[in-house]
Amino acid sequence: MTSGMTTGSPAAGSVGQAAPAFAGPCPRLAPDLVSGEIRSDWTKAEIARIYFSPLLELVYQSASVHRRYHDPRAIQQCTLLSIKTGGCSENCGYCPQSAHHSTAVKPEGVLDQDSVEASARAAKEAGSDRFCMGAAWREVHDNTQFQNILAMVRRVKALDMEVCVTLGMLSAEQAKQLKAAGLTAYNHNLDTSAGFYDKIVTTRTYQDRLNTLKNVRDAGIAICCGGIIGMGESAEDRIDLLHTLATLPEHPESVPVNALVAVKGTPLEERPPVDVLEMVRMIAAARIVMPAARIRLSAGRAAMSYVEQALCFLAGANSLFTGEKLLTTPNCDSDADRQMFDLLGLQPIT
């Protein structure tokens, strides 16, 4: 695997800017910021001090926090399957499945339950302990279709796997039914900051996303919620996103950190690749402010070398998606991940 990402330092003031240059010994982060205490009263100023700290100091501190809550060698492997592809009515600027964009993705109907169960069995055999199902919907209107999803959840749960779905917006009643069916987690990313959000999506509000997170949390389902970097947002937008996540009533159980995969035909197709050190910085800051969460190295991983991924794991990432596709975009296959695990001395969570 070769890297498609650059490793140069962005200029100060640029998107994802690096920490300012310092003369003399590397300054240490204040102990109160890296205590590892689980708290939901973070201020933006505190998170900014963490985010903009010198990178090696930041990674040292995040790795230290990581070891207080997690086995640094243990990585959760998840498999993500698109159970309903394309034709989505939302206009998310990064998404090749939007009906608003002209991409190579062709709309497909919902997969049948037997196919989904077979995919879940194959994922488990390949080492995944969580199976995630994604449907390109704004929300599920059809109750018959929703009952079909509930049956899929029950069948995957019966394989003794964690089960996650992402179905767009969710009502309180739907969340309760998913919980009763055995759902482990619900993925609903915030994508970016509240201030930058309408530059990326206009068919759904930020508050809509927060409302769905509340419905999921109130139903007793774990929340999987993160964002995407590299869409044109500023470093301050990334800090705002981290602040929103870290000040939820409960931290998300898992936090996907995605690098934009610029897909031809989407409004963001010309965005340059994210510098891998920006991913490391975002993961490290997320680890410090949400110490008990699983930080998932998600989209964009296929463009990273083993060494670059190792930096992300050192910074605090302890979960990844495995398998050739993330819904419709390329990902690392299981054989490549097994080789990487062997080289780095990592162990899958089973």
Q: Compute CA distances 161 → 78, 226, 310, 350, whole Å.
A: 10, 22, 26, 9
Q: In the numeric block, which tokens belong to residue 42?
A: 């973070």
Q: What pTM did the predictor assign? A: 0.88
Catalytic, 296? Answer: yes
Q: How far is 181 from 163, CA to CA, in rounded Å? A: 10
Catalytic, 332? Answer: no
Catalytic, 78? Answer: no
Q: Delineate the domains of the chain, giving CATH numbers in brackets.
A: 55-348 (3.20.20.70)
Burial of residue 247 (CB within 10 Å: 0-12, 13-18, 19+) is middle
Q: In the numeric block, which tokens belong to residue 25?
A: 């010994």
Catalytic residue among 78, 132, 312, 332: 132
Q: Are 279 and 229 in contact (CB under 8 A)?
A: yes
The per-residue pLDDT string of the chain (350 residues; one tens digit each, 9 = 90 and over) reads 333 343 333 333 344 444 454 445 556 788 888 888 999 999 999 999 999 999 999 999 999 999 999 999 999 999 999 998 877 888 888 888 876 787 877 778 889 999 999 999 999 988 889 999 998 888 788 889 999 999 999 999 999 999 999 999 999 999 999 999 999 999 999 999 999 999 999 999 999 999 999 999 999 999 999 999 999 999 999 999 999 999 999 999 999 999 999 889 999 999 999 999 999 999 999 999 999 999 999 988 888 999 999 999 999 999 998 866 555 566 677 788 889 999 999 999 87
Phi-psi region for residue 324, left (φ > 0), alpha (ψ -120 to 50) or beta? Answer: alpha
Catalytic residue among 164, 225, 312, 332: 164
Catalytic, 338? Answer: no
Q: Are 150 and 177 in contact (CB under 8 A)?
A: yes
Catalytic, 132? Answer: yes
Burial of residue 344 (CB within 10 Å: 0-12, 13-18, 19+) is middle
The angle subtended at Cα 298 by Cα 84 and Cα 39, nearest 5°, is 115
Catalytic, 164? Answer: yes
